[in-house]
Structure 1
Amino acid sequence: MTSLPVRAMPVEIIQPDAGSSFKLLHHRVEAEHFRWEYHCHPELELVYVVGGVGRRHVGSHLSYYQDGDLVLIGSQLPHAGFGYGSKGIHEEIVIQFKEKAFLGIPEIQFIESLFEHARFGICFYGKTKEEVGAKMKRLPKLGTFERFLYMMEIFHMLAQSKEYILLNPQENTYHLSIKDHSRLKKLSEYLEQNFHLPIHIEEVASLVNLSVPAFCNHFKKMVGMRYTDFVNEYRIHKACQMLLSDKSMLDIGFECGFSSQSYFSKVFRKVKGRSPMQFRNEMINRSF
């Protein structure tokens, strides 16, 4: 893939905590006030979202998470805030660190492969997410030395884990320009306000001043998926939130913009790998 230029990509400036080799952040804020902007920085970043739902946008990968998230983001890999699309209080714990601070130490050579894979963005799931998340929740309460020891344990757990997926199939080389960032934000806001209605591609293309063919091609290059898939993933994301209520399947399907119950079930299974009823039952069982 040919690398495209970055035009004024927002770069976050990160300083390690005093007496530490990394920066620890603990955010707990109303979701609507959480930072969304697509940005990058030289440091690697490990993000643990404490429960809830929302959207992950790492490199050209865009998808929605349920029940929290655990993602390792490589150096200079563009990403957006994980609070977009969440509701109520959004809580996350973030560790930011320079790769060179942990390389060349014989006892922790195992992390080199982990950091190499981080160039693609790594999403961890299952027991790895649960156990690493529990350790990360303890970090804000520890002193600097104890935090460092916990970090070594966390790196070791991640490096040994088989419970992960790479978010980008190849190293991300397409960075959003300021103009594309503005377009994506406008498209996301439009979808958030209109997902329950029929969405016509002509109207969407006109929002960003492109012809339909140009919009379809550019959107896929920008996000890594077709616009129709983007819409369906968002609708299923909203459906997952509604499935935690006592609304009927029929009402949820129509309220999320699906024209029929059968089409809603088909798309839900494609995106989530199970039926809406199976998803609801899993969430009910998990709450006990």
Structure 2
Amino acid sequence: MEKLIMYLGFPFVRYALIVGVLIALCSSLLGVTLVLKRYSYIGDGLSHVAFGALAIATVLNLTNKMIIILPLTILAAILLLKNGNNSKVKGDAAIAMISVGALAFGYLLMNVFPSSANVSGDVCSTLFGSTSILTLTKEEVIICGILSVCVLVVFVLFYNRIFAVTFDENFANAVGTKVNFYNLLIATITAVIIVLAMNLVGSLLISALVIFPALSAMSVIKSFRGVTIFSAASSVICAFIGIIISILGGTPVGSTIVAVDVVMFLICFVIGKVKG
């Protein structure tokens, strides 16, 4: 406990906790909708697109990599949504195609135009997360905070419409809800969350922040609102515990958070089975 209190005295630890909790909260809120709409794999696809965009930004030696990563990831989300039901390339095939292509393209760029002597280390850190969450500046925390607040505000303001689009698109469309617009909004918000989460858990583990809290909540709660609230609460708790364990134990931040999420899911799954 003394060691923990000592670490909490450092600004970089507080920054990591703030960013980690905000990202976990936003991811869990959107995760419920994505899982119910069978879009959970889109997070994985967009995370690979973000990796490819990061490789481009690294090759160009850009100081602010968000200038390239955020627009390209949002564009990919829009393209996946627009062409997801195309007769030639179905949604799951489009996600797989963009996902694998972006991952290969990014790795190729980082090898052909290396920005450091340890390319393998850079790639591994980007894919599985690194200590970059512990080197956040005050400006980066503020940017993350602003984007997170925007996501939360949008979710709260359009909660009823997102609920309608999630469960029955045909009915929502019939009563005048702009289904395409709200699907586009969901995809854009998902892209923003993916970009924010890259520093926390890495490209390959981002989907865990989206999927596990939602599945944990669905194991023990039945209502949409209850699932959303439980998912948000459990995700924040898991992120907080994961970061604390990582700091005290010296383990990788992203992997530790995901491991805690997995344990939470197993506990909720067992409780759900016992409750029937």
| TM-score over 0.5 (shorter chain) | no
Give 1 or 2 for the bigger CA radius of gyration.
1
Q: Is the strand fraction higher in 1 or 2? A: 1
Greater RCO, CA 8 A, separation 6+: 2
